[in-house]
Structure 1
Amino acid sequence: MTEWWRGGVIYQVYPRSFQDSNGDGIGDLPGIIDRLDHIASLGVDCIWLSPINQSPQADMGYDVSDYMQVDPLFGSLQDFDVLMQKAHALGLKVIMDQVVSHTSDQHPWFQESAFSRENAKADWYVWADAKPDGSPPNNWLSVFGGSAWEWHTARKQYYLHNFLTAQPDLNFHNPAVQDAVLEVMRFWLDRGLDGFRLDTVNYYFHDAQLRSNPPLKSLKGKPAVNPYDMQSHQFSKSQPENVAWLKRVRKLLDAYPGATTVGEVGDEERGLELMKQYTSGTELLHMCYSFDFLGPKFSAEHFRSKIARFFAEDETGWPCWSFSNHDVIRPMTRWASHSVSRADLSKQAAALVLSVKGSVGLYQGEELGLPEADILYEELTDPRGIRFWPEDKGRDGCRTPMPWQAHAPHGGYTSGSPWLPIKHAHLDLAVDAQNADQNSTLNFFRKFIAWRKAQPALLTGSIEFFKTDEPVLAFRRSAGNKDIICVFNLSPEERVVAVSKLPDMLEPVSNNATLEGKTLTLGPNGVAIVETPAGEGSVRFKAG
């Protein structure tokens, strides 16, 4: 099936934190191979590998120095081939991070480009002269703080880096750069890879005129922790030239039936619109995700409005909704104020992301309901956390190793000393403990994903939202002659919902909910799922 990705579930593996096989404290490809059975047991369709390319690891692999090699930290190309073989034997597709908006400053391309202004790769990166007073060419800022421009003495010019100074941006206005990136993609596709998660997919192009960004109109009443958040990034990213480039990417992928793309859209102001634009029709990306559901907002209106807006007017685009990944605070901590029970909140989050229209991205540990780990300053490795501590503690708290065994040293993750600590709160939620508990979050994920696979309405069906008051979110998914009605109480207090024309039985994937006649009672973070004949059934909120 070439469109396996449409409505599919993608499981993100953060390699250095999944399983260590050699005792150096860092997860690796042989470790992932050893744990593939766990991933397959979830019933997901695909694995997304965070970066495994050769890298100095200044930003945990998001600074690539050789796109066609596996970093020795993680293993070898032969290990990659074994992983692919076993994953495919288990029915799992594999995609990997493709980080090509920038490289490492140790990449040979940059080393050559920086040597002089007259060489074969002189224009492969974004170089610009200083202003007459020596200051950078414009006001663009780095995501990690400070100017996005770094002076290079040999070239006597500034180079652009949207992230660390060690991550210079490639110049996608140069066709030779585009050709080189396509060759990198072709290398991995020829090796059997099933596609790519495209990191920072809207950062490829910059404004060729290097115009300065205007200020953000509103800071929402408080100063920004990071000055980057004070600008409207109209010129430093999300440029119109990106669309033609993404068509080239899609043309390449179409030569490999079944291969897919997931684009990460990082744009606070235009994220949803870019998701739609980059996935509309059949000539661009297959899927995109933004950060709309990766923040603290947790309300019926928020989920309803974002999903409805995405599918309004043009329904040819396709989202990949995520509640969690390696860059954000884990949802069990972000949304804790909306719950009295971590177990109920984790099951509700699972049911919600697996019920809305679109594909699904799950992050390792999400199936365990892991909270954010409480990392001390002296334990930090993330450059963002080190720079902005304590107002922004960085991303290490969501990147700690997987807890496999509750009573084993370091949770069974390593026989050595782990690169980040495994906290006691995570050991209590270890895989072996949850495997043995039929009511665990882990087993709820398995049950829901298995049930979902048999529901065309949830995989690719339409979505229609019911009019309900906060904190109740309700919608109908439809396909063929069957509808599925999904109702969620996004609060820590009981709520009562009036229903009509519904069967008396809730589906077994419901949680903390009862249906008696025309009264649906939802406990804290309750989930009610009901199958009905097409066109029947409705819900409305009532006080209770």
Structure 2
Amino acid sequence: MSEWWKKSVVYQVYPLSFNDSNNDGVGDLKGIEEKLPYLSKLGIDVVWLNPIFESPLVDNGYDISDYEKILPKYGTMDDFLSLLKEAHKLNIKIILDLVVNHTSNEHRWFKESCKGKENPYSDYYIWKDPREDGSEPNNWGSTFGGSAWEYVPSRGQYYLHCFAKEQPDLNWDNPKVRQSIYKMMTKWFELGIDGFRMDVISLISKNPEYPNAPKEVPYTKSYYVGASNGPKVHEYLHEMNEKVLSEYDVMTVGETPNTTSKQALLYTNPNRKELDMVFHFDHMHLDYGKYGKFSDIKFKMSDLRNVLSKWQKDLAEGWNALYWSNHDQPRAVTRFGNDEKYRDKSAKMLATLLHFMKGTPYIYEGEEIGMKNVPFDSLNDYRDIETKYFIEDLRNNSEPEEYIRKCVYLKSRDNARTPMPWNGNEKEGYGFSNGKPWIKYSPDNKNINVEDALKNPNSIFYYYQKLIKLRKSMAIITEGDFKLLNKDDSDVFSYVREMEEKKLVVICSFASKKVNFELPKELVKHISNSRLIISNYDDSNLELPQKLPLCLRPFESLAYYIEE
């Protein structure tokens, strides 16, 4: 099979919020199809769609009630096939979200499983007897609050749900479950899709002992002690590859929470025949606080540099999935850059840093126009199940309302889920919909929108477009080795990509002031052979300056190509 995904750039579409074609306030498949020319103009190769399957939408589609039907709000199967056909005409591939750690409690498998212990689906989910006092089988908490176990009187047992109680975990130890999943995957591949992003795939194999979690482990992630990177996860993924994935020229990316870079290599080393790449979370945890994700702590650039360079090194024989944000994370320019005075410059700097690393870059919708976190008027405006739980949890811990508002503003998943602004006209629903949107619009849409970005030749959009073109034209970006530079610099993240006699030097400042940068001595001798291939300042030096140190302006990024 070819490895086309190594040279690809992926664009993530959140269907609920991308484009509404029928003005019911919800994005849909026809709306996505309408915007394919825009995505083609950007230059991306692959579109990843968040779940489009039938679902009660308790967790915005990550609770699937039928894997083979399209959610009516999004359209029909014919609409999907039309989208797939038109995307392929533009040489854009489509990958879907595979959510098979759990289903919805409305799925027919689960409804049957609840009826008793003697039916074909009784063992499709993870059921456990109560302890002697009738309590839960262990002390695991769920991601969205409360126990990870729910009691069902008809069976006299508890079922496991690592997420909401409406999302029961499937029992992957049951071969019938695996075969049902493989059969479903095959049907989608036969329809012509180009791969899957696999939701929390590192959780599918549980420790058969179901051990209690230590008290010091955060309650909402306590199931990690027995659910992440379990004893048979690699056996099951190898089986999936053998029975399904190896039959098609497709890409796979696994979401692997609580997974180290060393463990990730087990998933991604091509000799093992499991997955092509994985999403890690190490850089997403750098600003966690006493309540975990919901904090007002700022990341340290040195920590970010250490994490990203470690993954570059440790997955040299595997493959990295490169991302700043997605549907589960706040906006990148707010989190890692400066979303006020230097929004444009820091958004471009972050793009530069990421797109020149080794791996497949992922762009989350709106990232290419520099969308930032949303200043909702009220905490009641948030729609996300996780956010609602943490608002209540922080209140129960007697935290001040002002602190809660700040934490939620900084970290809520809803920051990434407000509708895509296609223009700056509020009366037109910013080009998203003429109906009432399922979630409020960001007030920043008036100044941050696609229409304005396309009119400005120096916009963040066109900067992304240029980065993508460079990636397609320069083999060193996808094939070169990665080497960290100036690892102790307090403000500048710099690295070099090397291939044969060629070098690509990437210099990115995270400072909001001017700072000096010392070019390593081994590169100084190549100054005369260098040329600037991209910078987020229009007047940057075209060659590495003879006079060193280099003075970097706020959030300045520079990429120099050296051919010895």
Same fold (TM over 0.5): yes
In structure 1, which of residues 389, 397, 409 is the aligned counterpart of residue 415 of structure 2? Answer: 397
Report if aligned partners of 2:324, 2:332 keep a CA contact under 8 Å in 1.
yes
Classify 1:381/1:91 alpha carbon distance in 2 versus 1 (closer, same or farther; 3 Å).
Answer: same
- Secondary structure in 2 aligned to 1:416? coil
Per-residue Cα deviation, 1:297-327 (whole angstroms, up to 9, x for no partner): 6555334422443354663211101101000
Per-residue Cα deviation, 1:247-292 (whole angstroms, up to 9, x for no partner): 122224544442010001111xx34333222112331100101122
Residues of 2 paired with 1:367 and 1:36: CA distance? 15
Residues of 2 paired with 1:142 and 1:414: CA distance? 35
Report if aligned partners of 1:103, 1:167 keep a CA contact under 8 Å in 2.
yes
Per-residue Cα deviation, 1:337-395 (whole angstroms, up to 9, x for no partner): 69841111100111111011111111000001100112332222211111211354632
Structure 2 equivalent of residue 510 of structure 1: 535
**Deviation at residue 426 of structure 1 after TM alignment:** 2.4
- Secondary structure in 1 aligned to 2:506? strand
Report if aligned partners of 1:278, 1:285 keep a CA contact under 8 Å in 2.
yes
In structure 1, which of residues 415, 424, 430 is the aligned counterpart of residue 443 of structure 2? Answer: 424
Structure 2 equivalent of residue 370 of structure 1: 371
Residues of 1 paired with 2:265 and 2:246: CA distance? 23
Structure 1 equivalent of residue 465 of structure 2: 446
Structure 2 equivalent of residue 523 of structure 1: 553
Amino acid at match of 1:228: T
- Secondary structure in 2 aligned to 1:11? strand
Structure 2 equivalent of residue 381 of structure 1: 383
Classify 1:232/1:174 alpha carbon distance in 2 versus 1 (closer, same or farther; 3 Å).
Answer: closer
Classify 1:115/1:4 alpha carbon distance in 2 versus 1 (closer, same or farther; 3 Å).
Answer: same
In structure 1, which of residues 242, 248, 252 is the aligned counterpart of residue 239 of structure 2? Answer: 248
- Secondary structure in 1 aligned to 2:213? coil
Residues of 1 paired with 2:552 and 2:131: CA distance? 62
Residues of 1 paired with 2:307 and 2:506: CA distance? 17
Amino acid at match of 1:290: H
In structure 2, which of residues 265, 268, 284 is the aligned counterpart of residue 279 of structure 1? Answer: 268
Amino acid at match of 2:267: Y
**Deviation at residue 407 of structure 1 after TM alignment:** 2.2
Structure 2 equivalent of residue 483 of structure 1: 503
Amino acid at match of 1:478: E
Report if aligned partners of 1:328, 1:398 keep a CA contact under 8 Å in 2.
yes
**Count of matched residue positions in the alignment of Structure 1 and Structure 2:** 523
Residues of 2 paired with 1:89 and 1:487: CA distance? 37
When you count helix as a share of all residues, which structure comes out higher? 2
Classify 1:454/1:323 alpha carbon distance in 2 versus 1 (closer, same or farther; 3 Å).
Answer: same
Per-residue Cα deviation, 1:479-534 (whole angstroms, up to 9, x for no partner): 24321111111211212223312247652421234443143221111111111125
Residues of 2 paired with 1:85 and 1:338: CA distance? 38
Gaps of 5+ in 1: 218-223, 535-544
- Secondary structure in 2 aligned to 1:251? helix
Alignment of 1:113-192 (within 5 A): 113-192=113-192
In structure 1, which of residues 445, 453, 456 is the aligned counterpart of residue 475 of structure 2? Answer: 456
Gaps of 5+ in 2: 288-297, 392-403
Report if aligned partners of 2:189, 2:248 keep a CA contact under 8 Å in 1.
no
Per-residue Cα deviation, 1:145-175 (whole angstroms, up to 9, x for no partner): 1110000111110000000000000001111
Classify 1:2/1:232 alpha carbon distance in 2 versus 1 (closer, same or farther; 3 Å).
Answer: same
Report if aligned partners of 1:265, 1:271 keep a CA contact under 8 Å in 2.
no
Report if aligned partners of 1:59, 1:383 keep a CA contact under 8 Å in 2.
yes
Residues of 2 paired with 1:337 and 1:527: CA distance? 14
Residues of 1 paired with 2:97 and 2:472: CA distance? 26
Report if aligned partners of 1:506, 1:528 keep a CA contact under 8 Å in 2.
no
Structure 2 equivalent of residue 105 of structure 1: 105
CA RMSD of aligned residues (A): 2.0
Residues of 2 paired with 1:436 and 1:32: CA distance? 22
Report if aligned partners of 1:293, 1:321 keep a CA contact under 8 Å in 2.
no
Classify 1:300/1:339 alpha carbon distance in 2 versus 1 (closer, same or farther; 3 Å).
Answer: farther
| 1:435 matches 2:473 | no
Classify 1:407/1:508 alpha carbon distance in 2 versus 1 (closer, same or farther; 3 Å).
Answer: farther
Classify 1:518/1:257 alpha carbon distance in 2 versus 1 (closer, same or farther; 3 Å).
Answer: farther
Residues of 2 paired with 1:97 and 1:39: CA distance? 19
Residues of 1 paired with 2:76 and 2:191: CA distance? 13
Amino acid at match of 1:42: L
